């Protein structure tokens, strides 16, 4: 195996085993590993990829892994980066789904998350600190970033804010062609009355998750809305408590939240169902990255699309900051968690310690605290 390909596979397999905390945390970990420690990308290149994955449907952190793998090791890296990042979570979630179907409950991981979450907050904060000077290039981008920050904090829709940030910067520079101002429709899950249960079928399962992976923008809460509309309301295959348990499993395991699909697939169709649901929801991400990746240099060469991408970049960073604030309020709940976050941040700033050691140490301490307290 070529050295570059082995590096990609090894790194994203490691991240797939240790990347807790959702897309913002995953992207922060990738920044730490690929920009800060390995120098595979510059801050500006990394920021452009963040902007690009925010413009296409699908799980942002998985698409970042695919993009970075392609940059580092070509088309083999394209496949290895995405697959290695997804695989650990798929295996862990499948094991938890097996336990769930046998014992009727999800394993308790409160202690592990208690220790890991402060480290995740520090990693996001360090990434924001490093990327902000590259995103805020002028007074206009600063104003747009601040506006997106305020609107996102008040519950603004992520996709509208991203595209609005790009359009606002183009308008401010007088670079928007008339035809680019045409409205665009956003695909959202439709609410409707509960339908009669549809008989389970593997083909319908695969196509349902393929559709979700192809059209879903936004956070895990948006994923929950899509899953409920299709699997609870339209098909009648899941109950609301089962859906909540599935999303909870996706949130408390490392790797992409979209492995919620793996859990649901296993509940509905065993191991074959888990495989089909996983393939369905992640396949569009590989296709979107394959198509969008070659467009990035062209976007940068055009003055108006470059302005749009700059606007999207600063908007994406503002959204990441809002996510970090909300996660911080939920995670830094006492003196030990606040201290852990501050110590982690100091280590990240002053040393090149690998994030895997920080996360592993924090998880161990959290589990020990739970065992001692029980």
| Residue, of 277 and 190, whose pLDDT is higher | 277
What per-residue confidence (pLDDT) applies to 119? 80
Question: Among 51-60, 110-119, 140-149, whose mean pLDDT is lowest?
Answer: 110-119
All residues at 6 or more sequence positions from 171 whose CB lies less than 8 Å from its CB, including other chains: none
Q: How many CB atoms lie within 10 A of CB 23?
A: 23
Question: Among 9-23, 107-121, 181-195, whose mean pLDDT is lowest?
Answer: 181-195
- For 169, 210, 286, 293, the CA distances from 56, given in Å and listed in that order, are 19, 15, 11, 11
pLDDT classification of 229: cutoffs 50, 70, 90: confident
What per-residue confidence (pLDDT) applies to 308? 79
Q: Which two tokens stand for residue 350?
A: 């002053």
- For 162, 311, 353, the CA distances from 284, given in Å and listed in that order, are 21, 25, 35
pLDDT digits (tens, 9 = 90+) for 124-156: 787 788 778 877 888 888 999 899 889 988 877
Question: Among 72-86, 100-114, 340-354, whose mean pLDDT is lowest?
Answer: 100-114
Q: How many CB atoms lie within 10 A of CB 369?
A: 15
pLDDT digits (tens, 9 = 90+) for 300-342: 777 777 787 788 778 878 877 887 787 788 778 888 889 888 9
What per-residue confidence (pLDDT) applies to 284? 93
For residue 172, pLDDT over 50 is answered with yes
C-alpha to C-alpha distance for 349 and 358, rounded to whole angstroms: 13
Q: Which two tokens stand for residue 166?
A: 């790009």
C-alpha to C-alpha distance for 278 and 86, rounded to whole angstroms: 9
For residue 186, pLDDT over 70 is answered with no
Helix and strand totals (H; E) in the chain: 15, 0
- What are the b/e assignments for 254-278, b being 16+ CB within 10 Å? bbbbbbbbbbbbbbbbeeebbbbbb
| Residue, of 323 and 16, whose pLDDT is higher | 16
What per-residue confidence (pLDDT) applies to 24? 75
Q: In which residue are the tokens 């992640």 written?
A: 282
What per-residue confidence (pLDDT) applies to 187? 38
**Cα 287–chain centre separation:** 17
C-alpha to C-alpha distance for 74 and 80, rounded to whole angstroms: 10
Highest-pLDDT range among 89-93, 125-129, 355-359: 89-93
C-alpha to C-alpha distance for 350 and 180, rounded to whole angstroms: 46
Q: Which two tokens stand for residue 47?
A: 């920021």
For residue 71, pLDDT over 80 is answered with yes
Question: Among 1-15, 84-98, 119-133, whose mean pLDDT is lowest?
Answer: 119-133
pLDDT digits (tens, 9 = 90+) for 288-300: 999 888 877 776 7
Would you say 296 and 41 are in contact if contact means Cβ atoms under 8 Å apart? no
**Cα 80–chain centre separation:** 18
Q: Is the pTM of this model over 0.75?
A: no
- SS3 call for 352: coil
Length of the chain in terms of residues written:
374
Would you say 296 and 52 are in contact if contact means Cβ atoms under 8 Å apart? yes
Q: Among 206, 202, 211, which residue's Cα sits nearest to residue 269?
A: 202
- State mean pLDDT over 6-22: 88
């Amino acid at each position: 195996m070529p050295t570059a390909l082995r590096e990609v596979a090894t790194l994203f397999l490691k991240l797939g085993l240790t990347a807790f905390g959702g897309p913002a945390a995953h992207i922060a970990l990738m920044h730490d590993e690929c920009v800060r420690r390995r120098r595979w990308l510059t801050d500006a290149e990394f920021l452009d990829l963040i902007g690009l994955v925010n413009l296409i449907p699908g799980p942002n952190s998985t698409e970042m892994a695919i993009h970075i793998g392609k940059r580092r090791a070509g088309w083999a890296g394209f496949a290895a980066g995405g697959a290695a990042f997804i695989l650990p979570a798929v295996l862990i979630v499948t094991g938890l789904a097996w336990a769930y179907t046998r014992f009727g409950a999800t394993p308790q991981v409160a202690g592990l998350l208690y220790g890991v979450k402060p480290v995740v907050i520090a990693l996001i904060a360090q990434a924001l600190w490093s990327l902000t000077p590259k995103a805020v290039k002028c007074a206009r981008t600063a104003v747009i970033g601040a506006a997106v920050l305020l609107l996102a904090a008040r519950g603004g829709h992520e996709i509208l804010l991203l595209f609005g940030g790009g359009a606002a910067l183009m308008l401010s520079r007088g670079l928007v062609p008339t035809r680019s101002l045409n409205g665009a429709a956003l695909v959202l899950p439709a609410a409707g009355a509960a339908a009669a249960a549809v008989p389970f079928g593997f083909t319908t399962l695969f196509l349902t998750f393929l559709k979700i992976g192809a059209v879903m923008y936004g956070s895990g809460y948006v994923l929950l809305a899509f899953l409920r509309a299709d699997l609870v309301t339209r098909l009648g295959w899941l109950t609301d408590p089962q859906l909540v348990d599935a999303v909870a499993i996706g949130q408390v395991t490392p790797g992409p939240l979209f492995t919620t699909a793996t859990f649901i697939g296993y509940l509905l169709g065993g191991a074959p169902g888990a495989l089909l649901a996983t393939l369905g929801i992640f396949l569009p991400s590989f296709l979107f990255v394959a198509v969008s990746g070659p467009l990035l240099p062209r976007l940068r060469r055009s003055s108006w699309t470059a302005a749009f991408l700059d606007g999207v970049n600063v908007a994406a960073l503002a959204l990441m900051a809002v996510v970090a604030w909300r996660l911080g309020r939920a995670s830094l709940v006492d003196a030990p968690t606040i201290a852990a976050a501050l110590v982690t941040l100091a280590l990240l700033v002053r040393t090149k310690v690998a994030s895997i050691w920080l996360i592993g140490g924090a998880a161990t301490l959290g589990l020990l605290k739970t065992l001692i307290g029980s």
